[in-house]
Chains A and B, each alone.
Chain A
Amino acid sequence: MWDTFRAVFWAFLGIRSSQGYDEDRKKLKIHHVIIAGVVCALVFVVMLLMLVKFITAK
């Protein structure tokens, strides 16, 4: 599971080393990646919201 989330994290940044990519190809399953992608997108939104809350707090 950690491998899937690590791959999705790099995907959000849009970069991946060839070594990491080779490992991804061997280990990852497409539906795991999609689920991890949706979860990470939600986490990303929550993080942005927390940042906004922190900045706008009086």
Chain B
Amino acid sequence: MASATTHDHAHGHGHGHDHDHHGPGPWTRIFTTTNHKDIGSMYLWFSLLMFFVGGAMALLIRAELFQPGLQVVQPEVFNSLTTVHALVMIFGAVMPAFVGFANWLIPLQIGAADMAFPRMNNWSFWLMIPATILLMASFFVPGGAAASGWTLYPPLSTQGGIGVDMTIMAIHILGASSIMGSINIITTILNMRAPGMTLMRMPMFVWTWLITAYLIIAVMPVLAGCITMLLTDRHFGTSFFNAAGGGDPTMFMHIFWFFGHPEVYILILPAFGIMSQIIPAFARKPLFGYASMVYATASIAILSFIVWGHHMFTVGMPAAGQLFFMYATMLIAVPTGVKIFNWIATMWRGSISFETPMLFAIGFLCMFTLGGFSGLVLSIVPVDITLHNTYYVVAHFHYVLFPGAIWALMAGVYFWLPKWTGRMYNETLGKWHFWLSAISFNVTFFPQHFLGLAGMPRRIPDYALQFAEWNMISTIGAFALGFSQLLFVYNVFSCIRSGEKAKERQWDSADSLEWTHLPSPVPYHTFETPPDLRGTNAAH
């Protein structure tokens, strides 16, 4: 986002020279850039666009559910909307947004000049465009978009039209893009740290991304294998998941969720990293238990591989299997709880101020904890058997992912916008954005717990009359939530165009290298000569 304003700043600190006025024109630059800041901005803009595309689908879903009966869309379209809403939000909005942050911040925070493989970085971004076109175009082909839910369970996914194949190809391409991004991130972190930036001095955001990148490399090929088997079942006569041909649809679920559960942590670990940067900055205290945070993140990553079965308690599994996955799932709450306590301990007796990033961070803490608790409820096998496939589950994962992943991203944008653009956002508008989001989010999703407990199934366009009131309230909340996000867009645009000038160290207690060593906005080229951090206190 800084790209528009990078040409008129002063060159401070002896870092680099601003070469961009000699570079290619704006369009050529977009296609050919290998600069991590350009690519980071492109990822962020793309994910913002996809956030609104996925959000529009969510509003169509909620509009249909405003009243019982069918009013807005046909049931097949409704099923496609639930499927593609999830895929767009996961693969098009949240993951690319975190990669955007990684591109912008990792080189700045470890004192590197750029990412390790700049051309591959460009390729990772541009791969997402054909994938997205495939996914969105699938709505307009015969048979419509995939309608099996984002999990693509067979036999639903073996029955659909060409839209399913387009979805499979889109996921393949997005997976390849994520893997390339991860290789880039791991190589950059392990090989390009400035002298003195040891692993255990890296900012938490860098640590969480290092671990996330390993998770991506571990599980994306599993997803690719899974959907390739689906593709060969659909077109090439195999029967991996077809019981009539000797296959087993349950196997799809096991393979899918072996990817799917670590994916949940791929979506949340970088959010933990952003929180660990923001909370200390506004509490004006160092992060409590830095080592614990690193250890807990690694622990969560390992445990994430042994809990997949909790997504399929009702599928048919021996009691011993159910117990194993129940215990493992409950135990993963321990390192996650450690993180929550560490953030609270960081704030304890701190000199806290409540600027917009901190509001979103505290909102994250409260709401994510609530989502975590409903997750613990669902981890109990007999309870899950009752609540599986109800709106309780929808409420649970939206509590984890909206205030978890999305609010962390919002907090991160407000936090680093002054550094990226050299200008300040409007604080009053930011606070309005937070409070409107906080209230409307809870109006939307808290009633869904009640709906789920009362037995309303998910992914159904129509429902029984007794669910009408809470659905109506939930839809009103959803529209308020959706339209509140326009404030964010306005704030970002007005910040870039005409925000007040930001200080070099806008947040006085932010202590990572981009705040302590670089001017605002950051120059187009940074750390061409890596800073020497040996013997200094520059740290997490």
Among A10, A48, A51, chain B packs the most CB atoms within 10 A around the CB of A48
- Would you list which residues of chain B between 330 and 356 have a CB under 8 Å from chain A? 334-335, 337-339
Q: Which of A5-58 contact B (CB under 8 A)?
A: 7, 10-16, 18, 21, 24-25, 30, 37, 41, 44-45, 48-49, 51-53, 55-56
Distance in Å: Cβ of B10 to nearest Cβ of chain A: 38
Chain B residues, Cβ within 8 Å of A18 = 291
Interface residues of B in 165-216 (CB under 8 A from A): 199-200
Which residues of B sit under 8 angstroms from A15, Cβ to Cβ? Answer: 289, 292, 295-296, 338
Residue among A14, A44, A45, A53 making CB contact with B320, cutoff 8 Å: A53
> What secondary structure prevails in chain A residues at the interface with B?
helix
Cβ 8 A contact of B299, one of A12, A45, A48? A12
- Among A14, A48, A53, A55, the residue within 8 A (CB) of B292 is A14
Residues 302-328 of B, flagged 1 when their CB comes within 8 A of A and 0 if not, give: 110110000000000001100110011
Q: Does B298 contact A (CB under 8 A)?
A: yes
Distance in Å: Cβ of B335 to nearest Cβ of chain A = 3
Interchain CA distance A16-B335 in the complex, whole Å: 12
**Of B200, B291, B298, B300, the contact of A37 (CB 8 Å cutoff):** B298
Residues of B within 8 A of A11 (CB): 295-296, 298-299
Contact B327 A41 (CB under 8 A): no
Cα of A48 to Cα of B291 in the assembled complex, Å: 27
Size of A's binding interface in residues, CB under 8 A: 24
Indicate with 1 or 0, residue by residue over B269-298, a CB within 8 angstroms of chain A CB atoms.
000000000000000000001011001101
Residue of A nearest to B327 (CB): A48
Q: Whole-angstrom distance from the CB of A43 to the nearest CB of chain B?
A: 12
- For the complex formed, measure the closest distance between the CB of B203 and the CB atoms of chain A, giving whole angstroms: 17
How near does chain B come to A31, taking the closest CB pair, in angstroms? 12
Taking a contact as CB atoms under 8 Å apart, the answer to whether A52 and B335 are in contact is no
A28: min CB distance to chain B, Å: 10
Interface size of B by CB at 8 A reads: 25
Q: A16-B289, A51-B327, A52-B327 are in contact. Are A10 and B295 (CB under 8 A)?
A: yes
Residues from chain B with a CB closer than 8 A to the CB of A41 are 302-303, 305-306
- Let me know if A52 and B324 touch, CB within 8 A: yes
> Closest approach, in angstroms, between the C-beta of A24 and any C-beta of chain B?
7
CB of A16, distance to nearest CB on chain B (Å): 4
Selected contact of A48 from candidates B200, B302, B328, CB within 8 Å: B328
Query: How far does the alpha carbon of A45 sit from the alpha carbon of B327 in the complex, in Å?
Result: 10
Cβ contacts under 8 Å, A48 to chain B: 324, 327-328
Inter-subunit contact B292/A16 (CB<8 Å): yes
Q: Give the contacting residue for A13; candidates B324, B327, B335; CB below 8 A.
A: B335
Contacts of B296 in A (CB 8 A): 11, 14-15
Inter-chain contacts of B337 with A (CB < 8 A): 14
From residue A20, how far is it (CB to closest CB) to chain B in Å? 8
Contact A52 B320 (CB under 8 A): yes
CA distance A41 to B296 in the complex (A): 14
Also in contact, A37 and B302, with CB within 8 A (given A52-B324, A56-B319): yes
B318 to chain A, nearest CB (A): 8
Which of B199, B323, B328, B335 is A55 in contact with, Cβ under 8 Å?
A: B323
A30-B199 CB under 8 A given contacts A18-B291, A41-B302: yes
Question: Which residues of the other chain, B, contact A24 by a CB distance below 8 angstroms?
Answer: 291
In the complex, the answer to whether A52 meets B323 with C-beta atoms within 8 Å is yes
20 A-B pairs (CB sep. < 8 Å): A11-B298, A12-B299, A12-B335, A13-B335, A14-B300, A14-B335, A15-B292, A15-B296, A15-B338, A16-B291, A18-B291, A30-B199, A41-B302, A41-B303, A48-B327, A52-B323, A52-B327, A53-B320, A56-B319, A56-B323
Q: Which B residues are within 8 Å of any A CB, using their own CB? A: 199-200, 289, 291-292, 295-296, 298-300, 302-303, 305-306, 319-320, 323-324, 327-328, 334-335, 337-339
- Known contacts A14-B292, A16-B291; can you find 13 more A-B pairs with CB under 8 A? A11-B295, A12-B299, A13-B338, A14-B295, A14-B296, A15-B295, A16-B289, A18-B291, A41-B305, A44-B306, A48-B328, A51-B327, A52-B320
The 7 A-B pairs at the shortest CB distance, nearest first, are namely A14-B296, A14-B335, A14-B338, A11-B295, A21-B291, A16-B291, A52-B323
